[in-house]
Amino acid sequence: MRTLIFILALIVFQSKSNAQQISGEAHYQTKQKGKIEISGTGMTEARKKEITKQFKKSLHKEFTLTFTSQASLWKQDESMNVNLSSGNNMAVSLGGDKMLYKNTATRSYIRQDDFMGKLFSIRDSLPEFNWRLEDETKKIGNYTCYKATYIKETEQPDFLKVHTDKDKEKGNKKEEQPSTVKKQVIVTAWYTPEIPVNNGPDSYWGLPGLILEIHDGGKTMICDRIVLKDEAVDLPVPDKGKVVDEEEMKKIRQDKYQEMQKMHKKSGNKKSSGISITITKG
C-alpha cells in the first residue's frame, strides 16, 4: 500500500511540476518545548519571573518559507530581544540576519547565522532524509496531506554527567571533554502533492510535495497560511558572514564551549552572589 501511495504521489508531483513553475509563501507557527531554571541571589524574584516569561515567549515563533520549484528561503518573521541578565547589558536577538537558503536542484544550502555576536555563512550539502511514506492522510487547511516519517539519530550534550567534589579530591585532573548522549527521534512530516515543490520548513525537504507540518521531538512546525503566486519570486541568496562548512562550524562551537567551561571553572573558585541560568530545550 505504501508503494502505491508513493507512486501516485510521485506521478502527481512530476506532472504538476512539469506543467508549471510553482512559487509562493508559506507561513508557519513553530513551538519548542523547553524550560529555564534560575538560581543565585543576584536577581530579584520579580526579575526571575520576567525572564521566565520572556523565555516561554521565545519558544513560540513565526517563520515564512518563500519558495520556488527548486529553491526556498526560510526566515523568522520578527526579531525578538530577550534580556537574560540582572541588569540591561545582555540580550539574545533572534531573527534579523538569520536565514536558511535551500536549493534542492543542487542539493545544497546556505545558512546565515549569528554565533556569539559574529555572523557566519555555513555552506554545505543538504541532509538526506530517509523518509518512509505512510498510509495515513489528513486535511491541513484546504490541502490533502500525506504522512511520512523517518528515524533521526541525534547527539546531545549530557548535562547530567558531572564530576563531583569527591572526584576532585581523588586528584582526577583529566581534561574534561563535553560528553554527549545518543538517542533516536521519530520525525513526522505531513506533505501535500497539491503543491509540487520538493521543500519544507527549516532544513526539511525531500518529499513529493510541500511539507506543511513537522513534529521533531519537542519541536513542532505547522503551516497556517499559504499564498501561491503567478509571477516568479525573487529569492535573495544570503551573502553575509564568514564562509565555513558544517564541520568547521561545529568545531567553532565546541572550542567556544570548552573555553566557557574553563572560564566557569576558574570563576567557580571565587565566592559570588551572581546568578546561574540553565536552559533546556527539546
In the chain, domain spans:
2-281
Q: Could you give the count of Cα atoms lying within 13 Å of 75 in the half-sphere of its Cβ?
A: 20
Q: Which residues make beta-bridge pairs with 277?
A: 38
Q: Which three cell numbers stand for residue 222?
A: 505547522
The one-letter code for the residue type at 148 is A
Q: Which residues pair with 185 in a beta bridge?
A: 152
Q: What angle do CA 54, 56, 62 make, to 5 degrees?
A: 95
Query: Phi, psi (5° rounding) for residue 255?
Result: -60, -40
Query: Residue 6's pLDDT is what?
Result: 47
Spatial distance between the Cα atoms of 169 and 54, rounded to a whole number of angstroms: 40
Task: Note the pLDDT of residue 27.
Answer: 98
What is the rounded distance in angstroms from the CA atom of residue 106 to the CA atom of residue 117?
30
pLDDT, position 2: 53
- C-alpha grid cell for residue 280? 533546556
- Among 199, 228, 200, which residue's Cα sits nearest to residue 24? 228
Secondary element (H or E) of residue 251: helix 246-268
Q: Considering Cα of 234, then 240, then 243, then 246, what sign does the dihedral take?
A: negative
Q: What cell does 232 get?
A: 516568479
Cβ-based neighbour number of residue 134 at 10 Å: 16
What pLDDT does 88 receive?
41
Mean pLDDT, consecutive 10-residue stretches, the chain (282 aa), reads 50 49 95 80 79 84 96 85 44 65 98 94 97 98 98 71 45 55 92 98 98 96 96 90 96 90 70 59 63
